[in-house]
Structure 1
Amino acid sequence: MKAQSGRLSVGLAAAGATRVAYGQLRRRPPVEARMWRRTNYAGRGVELYGGLAAAAGAATAVAAARGVALRTRFAAVGAALAAGACGAYDDQHGSPAERGFGAHLKALRERRFTSGVVKLLGIGAAGLAAGALLKADPADQVLTAVVIAGTAHAVNLVDMRPGRAAKAVIAVGAPWLLRRGPAALLAAAPVGAAAAVLRDDVSERTMLGDAGAHALGAALGSAIAVANGRTGLVLHAAALVAMTVAGDRISAGKRLWGAPGVRHVDSWGRLAHPYG
């Protein structure tokens, strides 16, 4: 009962902090408000405050989570905030012509320092730093970095329609809440933050953007890394690398998102558009 209460407390703290941050950002936009507005897939103007708020909410809840070692909290908060900061940089300076992991690697080979390269190197470095704090063995540290950075990328990969990334975080994070220990508490933070912005996301009032998607993904990846030993890390890392290689076939695959069960959940709460 105490464990369940702890998970609930962390989730509610994340949701509450996210809503407070979201309200503050809408009332007092950072710098210029127009810098945080985008046109979505349906041609509708939306703002990015939901993603910034979710990143702040998840990090705040993890930082205050009781029952999680300070070293573990520091690693998870650092990974989430670093991933969110790199995502926010890409939100502001990214080019639509250079999207996807392959484009980032190409830019890196050509020695071009694009916003995608900032994400690639920044989130990778944050994952390695978190791995050094969470695991003792060097091989496990590298695998942890892959899991954290890969989960951040995977959440951003599916963020192609309103609410899709938030639902993905909730769907992937929810099973971890059934476990005991610090991993469940860590997973409760991104799940709570995603749930707090879901309604505004599907209603196209806000969007997670790269900042929110990467931050929630890194926070969730930290929970997965904490919960797993060598074998689990290898399996999760392999699955995430496969998702990265698949790229557009996952983010825009009509067969995947058009499958009966998936389509129903994916479209839940979303505004009707002729664009899909």
Structure 2
Amino acid sequence: MSEPASSSSGSNARRLLSFALGTAVGRAVLRRAGSPELLRRTNFRGREVTLAGGPALAAGASVGAAAGAPTPAAAAAALTAGLGAGAVGLYDDVVGARPEQKAAKGLKGHLAALREGRVTSGLVKVAGVGAAGLAASALLAADPGRRRASRTGLVADVLLGAGVIAGTANLLNLFDLRPGRAIKAGALLGAPLMPGRAGGLAAGPLGAAAGVLPDDLGERAMLGDCGANAYGALLGVAIAARTGPAGRAAVLAGLVALTAASEKVSFTQVIQSTPGLRELDALGRRP
């Protein structure tokens, strides 16, 4: 059944507001942040860039998604996921650059460090993104408009939603290896989420990403864990808001499969060897 005309008009207005606000806030934060020494990094080509693109995207995407959310509970979930994942991502971006932190690579490396009594910034990020995803999923489940389930079904629904939110945050981070790649991957994921009552939850992140994209492609700024995690987490909220347990389980299975594949196969090599993907990946990037 299609939405009534008045409801559809309201949804369109929320999506436009969400996209525009995400873009405006993202651009404003990026301009004001500048390029402090703490956030300067060298990218894959040896150019000096700033990680300020991450906080800019996290702030713009979170504010935009909350503004376009269909209910107060969904708005709270968006702010929790976006700002929470962005904060622990920024912590890892800053603290993880220290020499004593660089030795631990991947989840296995972080767990090995924990067994030695060291808590790495990467492990803090993993735990923080998971906690933000769990809290956001619980807020979505508490929405009065969501169909009630048994206690067992509710717990399963919340856990599946948390997995989707955290898994999407991690997936977008895996794509953040070349200028513009994570933003483009998020756009492909988020565009189908735009229609419908909950479309504003995806419009905000896409608007913020559009605002940061020119600096990302121009190799003036990069997303880092802060931006990629927040971007992915908010798209995860948009997915969780429009799916039930079966849909969440299917999405989570796909996220787990892609994450496992990334341990065995280089996404960069796959993209470079696949016509269409190769050209899309390079679109707008400096030669």
Residue pairs, 1:67-82, within 5 angstroms: 68-82=70-84
Q: Match of 2:88? A: 86
The 10-residue stretch of structure 1 (131-140 or 213-222) with the greater mean CA deviation from structure 2: 131-140
Query: In the alignment, is residue 181 of structure 1 matched against residue 197 of structure 2?
Result: yes
Report if the CA contact (8 A) 2:67-2:200 is conserved.
no
Q: Match of 1:153? A: 170
Give the letter for the 1:135 counterpart. A
Task: State the distance in 1 between where 2:215 and 2:259 align.
Answer: 28
Question: What's the CA shift string for 1:95-114, capped at 9, x where partnerless?
Answer: 44333333334434554310
Structure 1: runs of 5+ lacking an equivalent: none
Q: Match of 1:139? A: 156
Task: State the distance in 2 between where 1:115 and 1:70 align.
Answer: 32
Give the CA RMSD over aligned residues. 1.7
Normalising by structure 2, what TM-score? 0.87
Structure 2: runs of 5+ lacking an equivalent: 1-7, 143-153
Which of residues 241, 258, 262 in structure 1 aligns to 2:256?
Answer: 241
Query: In the alignment, is residue 21 of structure 1 matched against residue 19 of structure 2?
Result: no
Deviation of 1:131 (Å): 1.5
When residues 128 and 103 of structure 1 are mapped into structure 2, their CA distance, relative to the original with a 3 A threshold, is: same
Q: Match of 1:114? A: 120
When residues 43 and 89 of structure 1 are mapped into structure 2, their CA distance, relative to the original with a 3 A threshold, is: same
Deviation of 1:250 (Å): 5.3
Query: In the alignment, is residue 46 of structure 1 matched against residue 49 of structure 2?
Result: yes
Deviation of 1:50 (Å): 1.1
Report if the CA contact (8 A) 1:55-1:216 is conserved.
yes
Report if the CA contact (8 A) 1:101-1:244 is conserved.
no
Give the letter for the 1:12 counterpart. A
Report if the CA contact (8 A) 1:160-1:251 is conserved.
no
When residues 267 and 191 of structure 1 are mapped into structure 2, their CA distance, relative to the original with a 3 A threshold, is: same
When residues 143 and 105 of structure 1 are mapped into structure 2, their CA distance, relative to the original with a 3 A threshold, is: farther
Task: State the distance in 2 between where 1:232 and 1:211 align.
Answer: 27
Question: What's the CA shift string for 1:153-188, capped at 9, x where partnerless?
Answer: 0000110001101111111101111x2112x11011
Task: State the distance in 2 between where 1:127 and 1:79 align.
Answer: 6
Deviation of 1:37 (Å): 0.5
Percent sequence identity is 47
Deviation of 1:196 (Å): 0.9
